[in-house]
Amino acid sequence: MVRVIILAGCCLLALVSSGFCLSYGHEPIGIESRSLDAIYQAALKEKGTLRVSWGGDAISNGAGIIAAFTKRFPDVEFNLTVDLSKYHDSRADRTFDTSNGEDDGTDVVLLQTVHDFPRWKKANRLLPYKVATWNDIQSPFKDEDGAFTGCFIGEFGTIVFNDDKAPNDTVPTTYQSFLKPEWRNKLAMTYPNDDDAILYLFTLIVKRHGWTFIDSLVSQNVTWLRGTGTPSELIAKPISQNELAASFAASPSAAAVILTKLPTEDHYVTWPQTAAIFATTKMPETAKLFMSYIMSDEWQADGFPSSGYATRKQFDTDGVLNQTLTNPLGFVTFMQDRANVERWRFQFETTLGTPQGVSPLLNKTVI
């Protein structure tokens, strides 16, 4: 049985240097040798409800895993909460503080905020666990002690467009081309100062094209929105409802009219969405079952967004670490320097103002 909680808050990985070694208050562990069914039987002996914090900015973000996990393990009680990663981590830290270290308010986290995991590991707040598929997870995407692991590759910067409003052969593959007059009033973008991955994308743009690009983009009368799914949902609407036709700062929609293209010259963003078990969990076997399932062949083959990139070697058909226009470890490095992140955030806020609109989890446009 599962109960989904959608929180409307205003919604590691790799140890990028071999010298980045953290003291850890746990004994070395081996790789899981049990089958999913065997772990399931162990989980059934625990009493309570597993709490999972799932990073996302649309109600639908958690739907797939909820349906699949419930079907596969029908007798496990779990709550999956969808909210922005930056609010999940804040709640966990506050609960840990207010409970004097007895609880983190959740058992399993799967988040975009990759900078949290080394910090939590250093504080001995994570329960080490190496899933059965551990050796198939690419080394830069997992902690050597099993404290956390990247579960799938997120991606922003692909060009998203409505084929009815902007036919495929008219949609450019360079960001600078969207500064042409014909794209005025037709672009929808996620606020860079409301999502760290979108923020990182815009830092790459500024480093390549300069601040004049941002000034020119703003002059295109862009529709700026909260939530990475909101632009695509509006772009998917028919021309009778709006003329928004394209974006390069949004996640794609499942709508049939929405197509995507990779940029051919500009750098785009990929990152390892990362998961861990908190050491305060009262349901360690159930937490291990959840981690094992999301890293299993069963879920990896069909469950996560498929772009040809994956943290597991078997499913990383396009080789995310071998690309010239994206570097998933670049985002990890960016996120670790919080002072730099804040400097960039306020640079964009100076130009765009504070993000306007309701939480994307309350926005009825995004399902």
Residue 337's alpha-carbon distances to 21, 46, 114, 171, 211, in angstroms, are 17, 39, 11, 35, 22
The H or E element containing residue 358 is: none
Residue (of 76, 87, 12, 16) closest to 44 by Cα position: 76
Encoded tokens for 53: 């914090």
pLDDT reported for residue 172: 97
Pairing of strands 269-278, 108-111: antiparallel
Two structure tokens written together for 5: 């909680």
Contact of 113 with 89, CB cutoff 8 Å: yes
| Residue 359 confidence (pLDDT) | 80
pLDDT in tens, the chain (367 residues): 444 433 433 334 444 433 233 445 677 899 999 999 999 999 999 999 999 999 998 878 889 999 999 999 999 999 999 999 999 999 999 999 999 999 999 999 999 999 999 999 999 999 999 999 999 999 999 999 999 999 999 999 999 999 999 999 999 999 999 999 999 999 999 999 999 999 999 999 999 999 999 999 999 999 999 999 999 999 999 999 999 999 999 998 777 899 999 999 999 999 999 999 999 999 999 999 999 999 999 999 988 766 799 999 999 999 999 999 999 999 999 999 999 999 999 999 999 999 999 888 877 655 4
- The pTM assigned to this predicted structure is 0.91
User: Looking at residue 15, what is its pLDDT?
Assistant: 42
Q: Measured between alpha carbons, how far is 243 from 161 in angstroms, rounded to an integer?
A: 11
List domains and CATH numbers for the chain. 2-155+271-328 (3.40.190.10), 158-267+345-352 (3.40.190.10)
- Asked if 251 contacts 268 with a C-beta cutoff of 8 angstroms, the reply is no
Give which of 153, 157, 85, 127 is closest to 283, Cα–Cα. 127
What is the C-alpha to C-alpha distance for residues 26 and 320, in angstroms, rounded to an integer? 31
For residue 366, what pLDDT is reported? 54
